[in-house]
Structure formats: structure tokens, C-alpha cells
């Protein structure tokens, strides 16, 4: 590789690192790759880029690998990684931020169903300011391919029965309640679109 190309890659990497640090307010230089975040993650085995590697890849400016990864969709946002980091690096926050960037980017999502769920979840949240499970699952099931897949793999009927049972017990409600937070969430979303 020529020196000019190497310099360009390094500059791109630095720009991505500065962008993520600036947008999250997290000092990623504090990470010394001890791997405690990965060891505390309950779903690390399902990730193609482990939590400590996510931080390293951001430091190296690996934007496309991160936004196209399975990891950002598999992460449960449980924050175990952040809680276990000896240097207070917000690993979970970085992953959530990368997921938000991926949702606004043209990268095809590795985990299509999780991506659809995320989009529907955010859609319902900004619409009502809170989640109504019936509306969320209905909207999810109406997405192309989802209902057919569930009917085929036999998961639709048990899910429907469970939903009806929860309605009967008063745990689920048909009509969503609107929260004042909806307006603020919409405002924040518009602000993010402008970035």
C-alpha cells in the first residue's frame, strides 16, 4: 500500500473516532483492551465483533465493518459491559449509537428481523411516546415476510394465544396511551436527521 493511501485511511479512521467520541461524549482512548466488557456480555457468543473489538474498531475507524455487523443488532442494551469496564468506557452506549447510525445508513442489516423490530419500536415510541405491545407486534407482523415466516415456522399461533391470554388478564391493552414525551422524541429525531 502506498504512503498516500495509508495516510488517507488513517485520516478517515481519525475522523470516525472523533465523530463517535464527539457524538457520545465517551473517551474511547481510555480503553486498554482488557476484555472485561466482552466477558460480561450475555450474548457475546452471537456477535461477529465482540464488545472490546467494537471499541478497537472505532479507534481504527472501521466504520463500514461496524455498521454492517451483526453485533449492533444482537446487543440487548443491557449495559453489563459498561458496568464492568474499569475505565468507565460506555461500551453499550457506543453500540447503541452505532445502531442508530446504521439505521440511518444504506448498509444492509445483518439481522433483518431485529432491524425491522428496531424500526417499528422507534416508530411506535415517537408516535405515542411509549410502547403499546399490541400495536408494536401488529405493526411488526404486518412487515413484508414476517407473518408468512411465523406461520411457516409455527411461532404465530402460540404468539397469538399468548397475546390473547394477556389481554384477558388485563396485562395488554388495545388502545395506546399517548405520552407528552412523544413530542420531545420527535424533536430529537428531527435533530438527529440533520446530522
Q: List CB contacts of 83: < 8 A, sequence separation 6 or more.
A: 40
Q: Which one among 20, 95, 98, 146 touches ligand SF4, defined by CB under 6 A?
A: 95
Q: Which one among 49, 58, 66, 89 touches ligand SF4, defined by CB under 6 A?
A: 89
Nearer to ligand SF4, 63 or 99 (CB): 99
The Cα 131–Cα 143 span in angstroms is: 18
Q: Are 63 and 75 in contact (CB under 8 A)?
A: no
Instruction: Number of residues interacting with ligand SF4: please give it, by CB under 6 A.
Output: 26
Nearer to ligand SF4, 5 or 77 (CB): 77
Output the smallest distance, CB 91 to ligand SF4, in A: 5
Q: Which one among 75, 102, 136, 140 touches ligand SF4, defined by CB under 6 A?
A: 75
Q: Per CB under 6 A, does 192 bind ligand SF4?
A: no
Output the smallest distance, CB 118 to ligand SF4, in A: 13
The Cα 182–Cα 52 span in angstroms is: 34
Q: Which candidate, 81, 52, 54, places its Cα nearest to that of 65?
A: 54
The Cα 95–Cα 52 span in angstroms is: 11
Q: Are 98 and 76 in contact (CB under 8 A)?
A: no
Binding residues for ligand SF4 restricted to 122-181, rule: CB under 6 A: none
Cell of 162: 399468548
Binding mask 17-56 for ligand SF4 (x = CB under 6 A): --------------xxxxxxx--xx-x-------xx--x-
Query: In terms of DSSP H, where are the helices of 29-176?
Result: 36-40, 51-59, 63-67, 71-74, 80-84, 91-103, 112-128, 133-141, 146-153, 156-168
Query: In this chain, which stretch among 1-9, 58-66, 75-83, 180-188 interacts with ligand SF4, using CB under 6 A?
Result: 75-83
Cell of 45: 457468543
Nearer to ligand SF4, 71 or 132 (CB): 71
Tally of CB atoms within 10 A around 93:
16
Contact residues for ligand SF4 (CB under 6 A)? 31-37, 40-41, 43, 51-52, 55, 75-81, 85, 87, 89, 91-92, 95
Amino acid at each position: 500500500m502506498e504512503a498516500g493511501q495509508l495516510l488517507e485511511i488513517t485520516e478517515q479512521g481519525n475522523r470516525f473516532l472523533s465523530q463517535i467520541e464527539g457524538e457520545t461524549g465517551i473517551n474511547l482512548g481510555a480503553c486498554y483492551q482488557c476484555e472485561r466488557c466482552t466477558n460480561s456480555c450475555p450474548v457475546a457468543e452471537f456477535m461477529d465483533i465482540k464488545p472490546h473489538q467494537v471499541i478497537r474498531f472505532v479507534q481504527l475507524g472501521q466504520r463500514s465493518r461496524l455498521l454492517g455487523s451483526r453485533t449492533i443488532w444482537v446487543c440487548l442494551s443491557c449495559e453489563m459491559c459498561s458496568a464492568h469496564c474499569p475505565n468507565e468506557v460506555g461500551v453499550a452506549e457506543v453500540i447503541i449509537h452505532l445502531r442508530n447510525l446504521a439505521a440511518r445508513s444504506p448498509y444492509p442489516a445483518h439481522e433483518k428481523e431485529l432491524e425491522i423490530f428496531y424500526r417499528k419500536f422507534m416508530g411506535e415510541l415517537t408516535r405515542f411516546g411509549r410502547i403499546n405491545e399490541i400495536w408494536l407486534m401488529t405493526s411488526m407482523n404486518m412487515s413484508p415476510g414476517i407473518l408468512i415466516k411465523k406461520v411457516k415456522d409455527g411461532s404465530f399461533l402460540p404468539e397469538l394465544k399468548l397475546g390473547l391470554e394477556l389481554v384477558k388478564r388485563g396485562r395488554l391493552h388495545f388502545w395506546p396511551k399517548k405520552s407528552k414525551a412523544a413530542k420531545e422524541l420527535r424533536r430529537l429525531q428531527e435533530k438527529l436527521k440533520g446530522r
